[in-house]
Amino acid sequence: MGLIELIKDKFKKPEGRVEGVEKVTGKGKYAAEYEVKNMAYAVLVGSTVPAGSIQSILVDKAKEVEGVLDIITHLNKPIVPGLSTEEKIKEAKLGLPVFHTNKVYFKGQPIAMVIAETLEDATFAASLIETEYHKESFSVDFDATKESVSLKPEGKERGSQDSWRNSQFIIDQQYNIKADVHNPMEMHATIAHWTGNDTLRLYDKNQGVNNVQKTFAKLWALPEKNIEVFSEFVGGGFGSGLRVWPHVLASIMASKQVNRPVKLMLTRPQMFAGTGYRPASWQRIRLGSDGSGNLLGILHQAKNGTSVYENFNDGITRVSRLIYKLPNLKAEAAIVPLNLSTPTWMRGPGDCTGVFALESAVDELSYQLKMDPVELRLKNISLEKHPDSGLPWSTHFLDEGIRKGAKMIGWNSRKAIPKSSVDGDWYIGYGMAVGMWNAGRQEAKAAIIMHKDGSITVQTAMTDIGTGTGTGMQNIAHEITGISKNKINIELGNSTLPPAPSQGGSTGLSSVSGAVHDASNQLKLKLADYASSVNQNFKNAALENIILSDEGISLKDKSVIFVAYSELFEKNNLNEIRLEVSSKPGSEREKYAFCSSAAHFCKVRVNKRTGKVKIEKLAVVGDGGKIINTQAAANQMSGAAVGGIGMTLMEENQIDAKLGTVIGNDLAGYHFAVNADAPIIEVEFINKPDPNINPSGAKGLGEVGIIGTAPAIANAIYNAIGLRMRDLPITPDKIL
C-alpha cells in the first residue's frame, strides 16, 4: 500500500470528505501549485503614495536584471479589447482598471509588473523600479471622513417613525466596527496560460470559475468556451474570491506580453490591498418598546467605507428587516470614500455587521425592561412571515433554535444582574444573540455519468472553498441512487464542467443540490429504460420502484428481477450513460420567503485585573433546512464561530492615517482567532428539510454561523462586568 492508500484505508469514515485525503497528503493542487512547462513569474509593484498620479516610472535598471523578460506599466500594456477606450473601461465595471490609468487611488495599487524567469529575479527587479508621483491629498480615516457624507433612505420605510416617538423604553446608541481582512490561509494566485492565440487557461484561486470565465471572455472578446478556469482546491475564501481582482487580469496581460505561461502569486501584505476586506462601519440604532417588551419601532442608520474609485455598500441595515416584527422601521445608509482599495463581501457580509448593532440594542433593552433576553427575542421574532414582503416563511425554526441553545449553554445559571457571578479574578457572564440570512438559490447544472463498472461520477463547475460541497453532492447521489459512496466520484471546480454559480452567500449547496438530486433520479429512470431491453418488467417503471445496487438494477417487491449493469451496458451497446440536469428557482419564490437562521449563546469570563476576555463556551443552533452532511455542516458553523471570535475580540485592519499605509499587513500584525483562542463550540442543527426551497430541502448555512457571534459575545461581556461594548474589536484596553 502506498501512503495515500494507507491513509484512505485508515480514515474510511462514512462522513469523510471526498477531497480529504488529497488535501491532507498535499496531492490536491491549489492554484499556485500547478506545474506548467516554461512558466515565467510575475511580481507586482505597488504605489508608494495613497493618492495622486504617476509622473514617471523608470524601469531601465530593473530591465537589466538577468532573467527579466519584460516590465508592464500603464505606458506599454498589451491591448485588452474590452479596455481599449475610456468608455469600455467604464462599462467593464472591473473596479480598478489595472495598468490602464496613471491615477493612484490607494497605497499599494499595482502600478507596474515585472515578468522574469524566476520569482527571485522578478522580486529583485521590482525593487529597482523608480516612480515619481504628483501627490494629492487623501483620507484613509473612516472616523474622520464619515461626517462628510449624508445618509440616504435604504429600502422602503415601514409604518412611521412618529408613531413610536414616545415609547416607554428607548435605546439610542452608536456602534463602530473596524475594517476586517479575509486572510484565507491560501494566498490569491493565478497561473495564466495562453494555450493558443485565442485560448486561455487559468489556474486561479476564486469562488466561482464561471464568473471568472465570463469576465475575461468579455474583456478579451472571446467565446466563453475559449477560456478554461480551474479552481479545484481553494484554501479558504470568506468572500475574497467572489469577484475578479486586478492581479488576475495582470497575470493574463503578462502571459500575453511574454507569450509564456505566467504565475502571479500575491504576497500576504499585497492581499491587504488587493483582494478586498470588510469595510469599517458606523451605525446608530434607535429602538423602542412598550412596557411589556413589544418592539414598536426602529431607526437603523449605517455608514461603511468604500474606495474612491468604486461604490461598495455592505447592506448593513438589511438584517433589521428580517428578524423582528417591528411594525415601524426606517433604514438609512451612506458610503464613505477613502483612499483604500475597494472592500467586498466578507463572512456574513452586511448582516454580520448590522446584527452586532441590532442585537446589542435588543440586549440593552432587555436590561432596561428587566426581562430575560431569551424571552424578549421569543416575543418579537417574526416567525410566520417575512416582515417586509409579508410572504410566509417556507420554514423558520428560530424559536426552537433559541430554546435549544439556551439549554446547551446552561442559560439557567445566568444571573440577571451584571457582576454577580465571580470566580476569583474572573467575572462570569452569559449572552445570546440571533442571526438570520435570506436563503438564496441560483440556477446550477450538474452531470451524472455512470461508467461500465457501475461507478458514477458527479460533476459541476462549482468550486468547493472548504465548505464540503463535493462531499454533500456525493451524499445526495448516494442517498438517492443507493450506490455506495466509494463508487461515487466527484469532479468540481473547473469551468469545463456543467456551469454553476459562484460559491458564496450561503447559496452553494442550496443551488447545486437540486441539480444533483434531479440528475440522480433521472439516472434511475434511464437505467430502468435501458434495463427494459433485457427484461420487460422494467418498462415504464415508476421511480419509487427502481432500486439500484453497486452491481445492477432491480425492482421493489420483485427481488428476483435483476439486471446487472454489465449486461445492461452490453445489450444497449453503451460506453457510459451521461445525463446533465439544470435546476433553478421558480414560482415558489413568489409564494414563500426563505431564510436560514441561528441562535448563538456564549459563556464568557472577563478578568478583573487584565481585561482579558476568555470565551468559555459557544453554543450555536443552526437552521439550514435538511443537513446533508452533519460533519461538514458543523465544521462550517464552528469555523464561522471562530471567525466571529476574531471579529469580536481581535481583528482590525490598522491603517496609519497620516501615511495612508496599512500597517499590520501580515499574520503577525493582523491578529485573528486561532485554535488557542477557540473555546468549546457546540453546534446543533434543527435539521428539518425545507420542502419548497429546492428538491434537496437544504438551505445555506455558512453566513448564519457568524451572523450573531459578535453580539452574543459582547452581550455576555456586559452580563459579566456591566460594561456595554459598542465598538469592535473588544480589546482589553476597552474593558479596563
List residues binding ligand MOS (CB under 6 A): 207, 237-239, 242, 345-347, 349, 504-505, 702
Decide whether 354 or 505 has the Cβ nearer to ligand MOS.
505
Give me the least distance between CB of 536 and ligand MOS, in Å please. Answer: 51
Decide whether 346 or 409 has the Cβ nearer to ligand MOS.
346
Decide whether 241 or 454 has the Cβ nearer to ligand MOS.
241
Give me the least distance between CB of 186 and ligand MOS, in Å please. Answer: 14
Give me the least distance between CB of 505 and ligand MOS, in Å please. Answer: 5
Give residue number: closest CB to ligand MOS: 239
Decide whether 46 or 705 has the Cβ nearer to ligand MOS.
705
Copy the grid coordinates of residue 19.
Answer: 477531497
Cα 188 to its chain centre, rounded Å, is 15
Give me the least distance between CB of 510 and ligand MOS, in Å please. Answer: 12
| Residue 522 DSSP code | H
Decide whether 702 or 708 has the Cβ nearer to ligand MOS.
702
Distance CA 151, CA 302 (A): 8
- Looking only at Cα atoms, what is the longest distance across the chain? 85
Decide whether 382 or 502 has the Cβ nearer to ligand MOS.
502
Contact yes or no for 391/595 (Cβ under 8 A):
no
Contact yes or no for 615/646 (Cβ under 8 A):
no
Strand partners, 57: 131
Give me the least distance between CB of 454 and ligand MOS, in Å please. Answer: 37
Copy the grid coordinates of residue 265.
Answer: 502569486
Distances (CA, A) of 308 to 247, 301, 460, 595: 19, 22, 38, 34
Decide whether 346 or 730 has the Cβ nearer to ligand MOS.
346
Decide whether 349 or 387 has the Cβ nearer to ligand MOS.
349
Decide whether 354 or 702 has the Cβ nearer to ligand MOS.
702
Amino acid at 275: T
The H-assigned helical ranges of 154-245 are 209-219
Assign 622 to helix, strand or coil.
strand
Give me the least distance between CB of 440 and ligand MOS, in Å please. Answer: 10
Contact yes or no for 101/75 (Cβ under 8 A):
no
Distance CA 63, CA 590 (A): 61
Question: Euclidean distance between the first and final Cα of the chain, in Å?
Answer: 59
Distance CA 461, CA 206 (A): 12
Count of beta carbons in the 10 Å neighbourhood of residue 163: 13
Distance CA 427, CA 617 (A): 14
Give me the least distance between CB of 382 and ligand MOS, in Å please. Answer: 24
**DSSP run (H or E) holding 569:** helix 565-571
User: Cβ neighbours of residue 263 under 8 Å, at least 6 residues apart?
Assistant: 32, 36, 39, 40, 41, 42, 189, 190, 191, 251
Decide whether 46 or 349 has the Cβ nearer to ligand MOS.
349
Decide whether 82 or 643 has the Cβ nearer to ligand MOS.
643
Peptide bond into 498 cis (omega under 30): no
Decide whether 50 or 504 has the Cβ nearer to ligand MOS.
504
Assign 378 to helix, strand or coil.
helix
Give me the least distance between CB of 258 and ligand MOS, in Å please. Answer: 33
Decide whether 615 or 707 has the Cβ nearer to ligand MOS.
707
Give me the least distance between CB of 467 and ligand MOS, in Å please. Answer: 9
Give me the least distance between CB of 242 and ligand MOS, in Å please. Answer: 6
Strand partners, 134: 53
Give me the least distance between CB of 207 and ligand MOS, in Å please. Answer: 6
**Helices 398-409 and 373-380: crossing angle, nearest 10°?**
170
Give me the least distance between CB of 707 and ligand MOS, in Å please. Answer: 11
Give me the least distance between CB of 189 and ligand MOS, in Å please. Answer: 18
User: Cβ neighbours of residue 456 under 8 Å, at least 6 residues apart?
Assistant: 448, 449, 450, 477, 481, 483, 487, 488, 489, 523
Decide whether 237 or 401 has the Cβ nearer to ligand MOS.
237
Assign 686 to helix, strand or coil.
coil
Give me the least distance between CB of 418 and ligand MOS, in Å please. Answer: 34
Cell 452581550 belongs to 715
Write out the DSSP string of 91-157.
Answer: HHT-SS-TTS-SEE-STT-EEEEEEESSHHHHHHHHTT-EEEEEE------HHHHGGGS--EE-S--
Distance CA 209, CA 227 (A): 10
Cell 467586498 belongs to 344
